[in-house]
Amino acid sequence: MEIVIKTLAFVFVFGLLVVFHEFGHYIVARWMGVRVLSFSVGFGPVLWARTRGHTEYALRALPLGGYVRMLGDDPTAPVDDEIARDPESFHNKPVWRRMLIVVAGPVFNFILPLVVLFVAALIFDGRLLSARVGTPIAGGPAASAGLLPGDLIVRVAGRDVTTFDDLVREIGKRADQPTLLDIDRDGKPVQVTVTPREVVHAGAAEVGIVERVGRIQMAPAEQVPTIAVQAGSPLWQAGLRSGDRVREVGGKPVKTWHALNLALQAASGPVTVRWTPLREKAPVPRAKASQAMQSLHSGASEQATVVPRGDPSPAPGAAITQRWGAAPGHRLVGPVLLGGPESEIAGLLPGDEVIALDGAPVAGMEQLYDRLSAPYQRVMLDPAYRVWSATERVQRLQAAMIGHTLLVRRTLTVTEVQANLQWRAGLQASAPPPKGPWQTYLAGLAAADAAQQLATGEVQFPTLLKIPVTLGKDDRPDLALELAPLVDRVPPDLIENPHLIRHAFSASWSQFLRGSTLILATTAELFKGNVAVKEVGGVIRMAQMTSEATERGLERVLQLLAALSINLGILNLLPIPLVDGGHLLFLAIEGVRRQPASLRVRQVASFVGLAFLGMLFLVVMKNDLQALFAK
């Protein structure tokens, strides 16, 4: 069934691209009074055909495109007397009419994505994320400014915002500028000043597109109550460890960290806590990565009565840390992939807490990512990056990615403490070689010191992490940073889109401009030699992309259709003989000279264009087959 759906999706995408392009030529030709002899989808032998009026409508065997044949439209053939006298001949129409007919195909390729993206917005954006704060990212501007989960941002610098998209758009304009936010906090108006941090998106740096925007680093979804537990604290003594997920407090469910905080603040004495321990503490095979997060907290829950410590009325916001001994799991490591540098070199495990990087404290995993990838970003932002070869880019990026020292805090269950005490006690007798940073650290301690640290159930150890830079099949470098956070988030609430039609127009136009800019820049850099020829793909690549998009749903298929249509429109406007751009070039010359180029010139140009397209076809097939068999 899945292969059928993917096949139908490809037929839909490819067929609509071809039909819409050729329909542009067809409808404008009819409008301009030109007789259309054939409207064909595909090339080669006819599978199906029907003639109506002067036009044959045909479906052909080779799905490599399509064409519209008009009376007198062959620029490489002499015009016979009968066609020359026919008023419906393409040849007899004024230059401006012929140019309209030729340009109509690419123009319709630009109309199609606008229509598709508009329809997609109407279908999928009827409900949107609100401008409500879910999780202020640790160490980010939102957290530093004091934004809290549940805060509803209603204005940014005096401009009303309703949805999360509105918020992102307004904040994006104000990088490094102190910005006043009007907030509804539990029904009370509050004003907060935040300074959005400049974030650089350099994913398309090889074609010269670098986007700089402001971000306050706030997620619209609230994080679940996965906790980091202090050794010796009341929660620790009850049996909880870092990475465990709290389910209930006092018999009442808690689904978010904010709810847990409120529940424990309200508890003035002993309270029953139910939690799910972190079950899987081993690296997982790459093939099981998508299910790894769900398996971390699977299995039965545990329950204990926890007795708080200290002042029953601590400072606001400090209740969990001071009285109960838990903090949000911002710095906890999630699923670790087997064979990756995080497991093989750094020896990290799920539930480990990264507390420092190169001696500087870490606020959360997002901040850790930023600091680890900063050297990579600096190389990509070098003005000369776009003219370096793919090999040179990778070499420079690899040279920039030096190793970093992580300080890791690992908490152990009673069983794990006993196992490590036994291993350390027998170290001198059996002298097994250390297996990783954790064992190396324990082996380097005196036996008494190792026993003392292990007895606390909490050990801090340094480890080295170097993130490799790899070269993908398309010759694009990639930073293999696979360090996942442990803390998950609950699905955020959605609100009705208050301005659906206006939003659809704005969203479709914005995506169209962004996609056109990227494709146009990539095409230009390809001809300059700054983008690898491996970027070019054909029908097989299109089928692969459609298959991948189908797995992610209809919305992704429509976005792919829009991108492919823009790409087809731009490529057809290139001044290459035998494609629309080449026809437009000769018509422009005819308009200036008041007479067409000679038949000999047109024939030579067509031969050159045919040779170019033939070589392009071979390159495309080579790339497609390599991509196909590289799977």
User: Mean pLDDT across the stretch 331-335?
Assistant: 92
163 vs 444, higher pLDDT: 163
pLDDT tens column, 236-251: 999 999 999 999 999 9
Q: What is the pLDDT of residue 602?
A: 72
Output the six-digit token pair for 30.
């009819």
- Classified by CATH at the fold level, domain 129-219 comes out as Pdz3 Domain (2.30.42)
| Least confident span in 31-35, 97-101, 146-150, 288-292 | 288-292
Distance CA 422, CA 520 (A): 64
Whether the per-residue pLDDT at 314 is higher than 70: the answer is no
CB 256 within 8 A of CB 225: yes
Q: What angle do CA 177, 182, 188 make, to 5 degrees?
A: 150
User: Mean pLDDT across the stretch 302-331?
Assistant: 76
CATH number corresponding to 227-412+457-479: 2.30.42.10
626 vs 115, higher pLDDT: 115
pLDDT tens column, 492-545: 888 898 888 988 999 899 999 988 888 887 777 777 666 666 666 677 778 778
- Give phi and psi for 137, each to the nearest 5: -65, 130
Whether the per-residue pLDDT at 13 is higher than 80: the answer is yes
264 vs 317, higher pLDDT: 264
Q: What is the pLDDT of residue 623?
A: 64
**CATH 2.30.42.10 placement within the chain:** 129-219, 227-412+457-479
| Least confident span in 21-35, 393-407, 410-424 | 410-424
User: Mean pLDDT across the stretch 345-358?
Assistant: 90
Distance CA 292, CA 217 (A): 26
Arithmetic mean of pLDDT over the chain: 84
The verdict on whether 22 is a catalytic residue reads yes
pLDDT above 70 coverage of the chain, percent: 89
299 torsion bin: left (phi>0), alpha (psi -120 to 50), beta (else)? left
CB 296 within 8 A of CB 329: no
Whether the per-residue pLDDT at 210 is higher than 90: the answer is no
Q: What is the pLDDT of residue 530?
A: 65
pLDDT tens column, 427-477: 655 555 556 777 777 777 777 777 777 778 888 889 998 888 887 666 678
Whether the per-residue pLDDT at 185 is higher than 50: the answer is yes
CB 241 within 8 A of CB 412: yes
Whether the per-residue pLDDT at 317 is higher than 50: the answer is no
User: Mean pLDDT across the stretch 185-195?
Assistant: 93
Q: What is the pLDDT of residue 180?
A: 95
591 vs 103, higher pLDDT: 103
Short-list 390, 396, 399, 386, CA closest to 205: 386
Residue 316: pLDDT band (50, 70, 90) is very low
| Least confident span in 333-337, 513-517, 574-578 | 574-578
CB 326 within 8 A of CB 314: no
In the set 22, 170, 206, 458, the catalytic residue is 22
Distance CA 310, CA 320 (A): 11
Please list the residues that pair with 353 across neighbouring strands. 332, 409
**CA 285 and chain centroid, separation:** 23
Residue 322: strand, helix, or coil:
helix
Q: What is the pLDDT of residue 625?
A: 67
User: Mean pLDDT across the stretch 568-579?
Assistant: 84
Tokens 């799910």 belong to 276
